[in-house]
Structure 1
Amino acid sequence: MLMGCWVRAIFKRSAAFEQCKEHCRMFSSSLRPRPRITRARKNWLRAAYADNIRRETIEQPVEPNLIFRERFRKEMDTVKLAPQIFDYFLVLDFEATCDRTRMPEVQEIIEFPVVKVDAQTMEVVSTFHHYVLPRVNPALTTFCTQLTGIIQDMVDGQPHFEEVTQLFQKWMDAEGLLHPECKSCFVTCGDWDLATMLPMQSDYFKVPVPSYFDRWINVKHSFSECIGHFPRGLMLMLESLNIQHTGRHHSGIDDCMNIVKIMRALSERGYVFRINGQRTAVRGGKGKKF
């Protein structure tokens, strides 16, 4: 009888022992680190997920979504741009003869670009662009070519300054910008173009300056009023607004297109452009272009 009790005790203890071992094994297996997912495995999972989403999208009717997105885009385009007091903006950015060590005694315009922008949509509707052959210093310096990207062949055979101003007057008339009911204003990056460069060359060659050049919008001041700090140049404005620069810096026509991007970004923030520069206020060459 004692032997039987002893055997039953041993049997029960061994069964409990085995059960405990099993529990410990299960617990330890749960603590094992999970196998790492390699980068290739992650890429495969992403591709599979994207393919699954694509298939689900294809199976769904997409026509109503496309109609909604197009309508939403048009509504956003009309809502997010502030209404302006002008009909058109004329974005202008001259490039002129220059040198690294000493500026020419007479600085002359070698690129004359003006971009006509619809003030309500901020879209470019027309462009005037001419290279100009300088008279006093017809040979461009190496520094001038490196800065502006304008090579000698681009100005050779081009009309002189007075001829280009006449062509520009005809373009203004053909675009309806000289009509009394048309409200337009020039836009520059700084005051140098219309406060210094154009009057200085016009005085030297005895070319009258049309009155529509007397007032303009300095986009730097507009940026300062809208954003809260004054920018030193075009590139800093683009960077502050998180806008990708396109083209070549100090190429007149490319700078004009980038100024248009800045104006659109400011208009999207509700800014209304107003005249903030005029020749009578900065006469005497005080303006400066960066």
Structure 2
Amino acid sequence: MGHWLVIDLEATTEEGGWPVTEMEIIEIGASLVSAEGRELDHFQRFVRPLRRPCLTSFCRELTHISQANVDAAAPLASIWPLFERWLAAHLPRLAGWASWGEYDRRQLEQEWQRHGLSSVLAQLPHLNLKQRFAEVRQLARPVGLHSALQLAGFSFHGQQHRALEDARNTARLLPLILPA
């Protein structure tokens, strides 16, 4: 069984939410894990948004990401090649990538297009772990990450709505979702 890459993004937003087309990535978190859910490597970077460079107070409170964090960061066009270079070393063992829901995949695809970037992820299978967890647990409808962890008997580790910590917590559910 190969390794899995679990990705979580934080993005610009406002209370009540913005459409995905209005959001921009402000943090990338990725946890490379074995099929058993053990972390082998990770990647985390802040990203400077270009269209709306000032974070809303709602966004800062939700994510605990400061304006200084994103002001000091490079834009996605500079960060993404660093991610791809990091990922390249792991590609031979990579079975695919996963996220909690479809949002992260859609946001990445939109931003790749907007910035003229390409990604090896586009050629790899993507698992919607939120949907898969609901199917495996026979839930009436998908639940949030925090609820899924509770249903699995886990508590959330770290700060919620931070990309790497959300990715790591999502990865803890992989062994319960992937076929043995």
Give TM-score, length-normalised by structure 2: 0.89
CA distances 1:172-211 after superposition (whole Å, capped 9, x unpaired): 12x231x3xx3421110001111x2112222222223x24
Letter in 2 for 1:110: I
Question: 1:125 is paired with a residue of what secondary structure?
Answer: strand
Equivalent-residue separation in structure 2 for 1:218 and 1:114 (angstroms): 15
| Gap runs ≥5 in structure 1 | 1-85, 274-290
CA contact (8 A) 1:91 1:256 kept: yes
More strand by share: 2
Equivalent-residue separation in structure 1 for 2:136 and 2:13 (angstroms): 33
Cα RMSD for the two superposed structures: 2.0
Q: Give the total of aligned pairs.
A: 177
Q: Is 2:134 the partner of 1:224?
A: yes
Equivalent-residue separation in structure 2 for 1:254 and 1:212 (angstroms): 21
CA contact (8 A) 1:186 1:213 kept: no
The runs of at least 4 consecutive aligned structure 1 residues that moved more than 3 Å come to none
CA contact (8 A) 2:15 2:58 kept: yes
Identity value in percent: 27
CA contact (8 A) 2:84 2:120 kept: no
CA distances 1:148-175 after superposition (whole Å, capped 9, x unpaired): 11111111221110111100111012x2
**1:110 Cα shift?**
0.4
> Which of 103, 119, 122 pairs up with 1:213?
122
Letter in 2 for 1:232: V
Aligned to 1:159: 74
**1:138 Cα shift?**
1.2
Aligned to 1:254: 165
Give TM-score, length-normalised by structure 1: 0.57
CA contact (8 A) 2:43 2:164 kept: no
Aligned to 1:109: 25
CA contact (8 A) 1:148 1:249 kept: yes
Which residues of 2 match residues 22-37 of structure 1 at below 5 A? none
Equivalent-residue separation in structure 2 for 1:251 and 1:176 (angstroms): 23
CA contact (8 A) 2:7 2:167 kept: yes
Quickly say closer, same or farther: Cα 1:191–1:102, change in 2 above 3 A: closer
Higher relative contact order (CA 8 A, sep 6+): 2
Quickly say closer, same or farther: Cα 1:90–1:102, change in 2 above 3 A: closer
Letter in 1 for 2:160: H
Equivalent-residue separation in structure 1 for 2:135 and 2:18 (angstroms): 33
Equivalent-residue separation in structure 2 for 1:198 and 1:103 (angstroms): 16
Quickly say closer, same or farther: Cα 1:136–1:189, change in 2 above 3 A: same
**1:245 Cα shift?**
1.2
Aligned to 2:112: 202
Aligned to 1:95: 10
> Which of 66, 90, 104 pairs up with 1:176?
90
CA contact (8 A) 2:12 2:25 kept: yes
**1:92 Cα shift?**
0.4
Which residues of 2 match residues 110-125 of structure 1 at below 5 A? 110-119=26-35, 121-125=36-40
Equivalent-residue separation in structure 2 for 1:158 and 1:211 (angstroms): 23
Question: 2:96 is paired with a residue of what secondary structure?
Answer: strand
**1:90 Cα shift?**
0.2
Which residues of 2 match residues 1-290 of structure 1 at below 5 A? 86-100=1-15, 103=18, 106-119=22-35, 121-173=36-88, 175-177=89-91, 179=92, 182-194=93-105, 196-208=106-118, 210-214=119-123, 215-229=125-139, 230-264=141-175, 266=176, 271-272=178-179
Equivalent-residue separation in structure 1 for 2:94 and 2:30 (angstroms): 16
